[in-house]
Amino acid sequence: MGKRIITAALTGSIHTPSMSPYLPVTPEQLIEEAVAVYNAGGAVAHVHVRDPETGMPNADQDIYREIATQVKKRCDIVLCFTTGGKLGEPVENRVRVASNLKPELTTLNAGSLNFALFHIVDGVEEWKYDWEKPYLEGTEDFIFPNTFKTMRQYIEIMYAHGAKPELEIYDTGMINNVAFLIDKGIIKKPVYLQFVLGILGGIPATIQNLVFLLETARNQIGDFEFSVCAAGKQQFPLCTACLLLGGHARVGLEDNLYLEKGILAKSSAEQVAKLIRIARELGIEPATPEEARSILNLKGLDKVNY
C-alpha cells in the first residue's frame, strides 16, 4: 500500500480558548502551526479561522487570505479550508472561502446532523471569554444544516473554482447522500471521504464503526480515498486503525486537545509527530504534500488564488 496523508486540523470551531492555552486563535499562531505541521511531516493543514481578540470562530475572509498567503511563502503544505465554519454561521458565508481563494481542497459536510457540544462545558472550570459557555450550551438545540440543495450549491461552487471536496461523513446515511450525488453527476469520482467519528449527533468513535462505514462506502461508492478523524481520546486509536485499513488519518487540536492522557498537546504538530512515529513502527510512511496532491488529484499550488 502507498504512502498516507497525515492531515492536521489546527483549531476548528469546537474547542474554545478556556479548554487549552495552546489552541491557536490568531492568524500568526495559525500560520506557525501550519508550518510546524509541515515540518513534522504533515501533508495537509485543515484551516478554520477565529477572531484574534476573543478566539471566537468566524469566517473572516481577510484572515483566511493572510494565513494562506503566509503559509504558501514558507512551505508547500496542502491547505484544506473548512466550509463547515463556526456553528450557526449562515451557509452562504461558509462557502465563500472556496470562491475567494480557489484552494486545492475544501470540506463538504455530507449531510445535516445534530452537532452537540453542550456536554463538554462540564469539563471547564473557568471561562476566559463570555461567548464560550453560551456558544457550547446553545448546541443542545442546534442542527448543522447541510441540505441536498446547499450541498449541490457548495459542490458547484467548489468545482467552478477547482477546489476538490473533502467529504465529511459523520454517520452512515451520509454515505448514501454522497452515493446519490455521484449518481446524479453532481459529485465527480474519484472522491475523498473523511470519516468523522465521535461527534454527539453522529456515529460513535469505535473501530467497529470505522470498519462498518468503510464497508458501507465500498458497497455504495466503489473505490475512493479515505481518512478518519475522531473526537477526543479516540483520536490516536482510530487514526492508527485507519492507517492499518489502508487509509489516511487526521489529527489536530480541532479534534483532540491532548497528546496523551492528562497531557495537553502544545501543538497539532506534536500529534502529527506522534502519529508518524506510530505509523513508521507499523511500516507505514507519510506522504509529502506533493504526494498527497497526486493521491487526491489536486490541481496544484500554482492554480490557487492566494
Applying CB under 6 A, among 12, 24, 42, 55 the residue interacting with ligand KMH is: 12
Q: Which of 159, 214, 151, 217 is nearest to 188 (CA)?
A: 159
User: Counting contacts by CB under 6 A, is residue 82 touching ligand KMH?
Assistant: yes
Cβ-based neighbours of 43, under 8 Å, separated by 6 or more: 5, 6, 7, 77, 78, 286, 287, 288, 289, 291, 292
Site string (186-225) toward ligand KMH, x via CB under 6 A: ----------x--x--------------------------
Q: Is 29 in the site for Zn ion (CB under 5 A)?
A: no
Q: How far are the Cα atoms of 13, 30, 105, 118 from residue 83, in angstroms, in the given order?
A: 11, 17, 10, 22
DSSP 153-220: HHHHHHHHTTPEEEEEE-SHHHHHHHHHHHHTTSSPSS-EEEEEE--BTB----HHHHHHHHHHHHHH
Question: In the complex, what is the shortest distance from the CB of residue 21 to ligand KMH, in angstroms, rounded to a whole number?
Answer: 21
Q: x/- contact string, 253-282, with ligand KMH (CB under 6 A)? A: -x----------------------------
146 binds ligand KMH (CB under 6 A): no
User: By CB under 5 A, is residue 82 in contact with Zn ion?
Assistant: yes
What is the residue whose three cell numbers read 495537553?
264
**268 binds Zn ion per the rule CB under 5 A:** no
For the record, the C-alpha cell of 207 comes out as 473501530
**Cα(156)–Cα(107) distance, rounded to whole angstroms?**
13
Q: How far is the CB of 255 from ligand KMH (least distance, A)?
A: 7
Q: Which is nearer to ligand KMH, 84 or 103 (CB)?
A: 84
17 binds ligand KMH (CB under 6 A): no
Q: By the criterion CB under 5 A, which residues form the site for Zn ion?
A: 12, 82
Q: By the criterion CB under 6 A, which residues form the site for ligand KMH?
A: 9, 12, 46, 82-84, 107, 109, 168, 196, 199, 254
